[in-house]
Amino acid sequence: MGATQRLTVPGKFEHLAQIAEFVTTASRAAGLNDDDVFHVEMAVDEACSNIIEHAYAELTGDIDLTCYVPEMGRLDIVIRDHGQSFNPDEVPVPRLQEGAGLDAVQEGGLGLYFMRKLMDEVRFEFSPENGNTLYMVKRKQA
């Protein structure tokens, strides 16, 4: 327990599969169940896709992932980039509950929506010195 694992990859779509493998392995090592592992894979994939698509739209840079297991059954993930920051509060929330499925998906914001649905904690920090940091926590479901 307490082991920290890190992965740094260029912010390019072709590294998404490698990122997925990294967080899947870390999730299993944290004692999460199969559903949890899938949810972590999905949330991290959406987070990194957003970084590549938006933060690194006009810049190039790395994505730095750190996985930490503070106790068995809990995985903390920190994702850092040095691209364009954004305001999470300005990302539209998909209107999925209103039966607007088709249009809501096209309007975007689905990735952030998935992250918040799938993880127990999702928190962003933006700093000129340290870049953009996303903290996510997943706890083992009963």
23 sits near another protein (criterion: CB under 8 A): no
Measured CA to CA, the distance from residue 43 to residue 118 in angstroms comes to 7
The interface with another protein within residues 27-86 (CB under 8 A) comprises 38, 41-42, 45-46, 49, 52-53
Least distance in Å: CB of 83 to another protein? Answer: 15
Report yes or no: 11 and 63 within 8 Å, Cβ to Cβ: yes
Task: State yes or no: residue 97 binds another protein (CB under 8 A).
Answer: yes
First-to-last C-alpha distance (Å) of the chain: 20
Binding residues for another protein, total number by CB under 8 A: 27
At 21, list the tokens.
Answer: 């493998």
d(C-alpha 7, C-alpha 23), whole Å: 9
Binding site residues, another protein, CB under 8 A: 13-14, 16-17, 20, 38, 41-42, 45-46, 49, 52-53, 94, 96-97, 99, 101-102, 104-106, 110-111, 114, 117-118
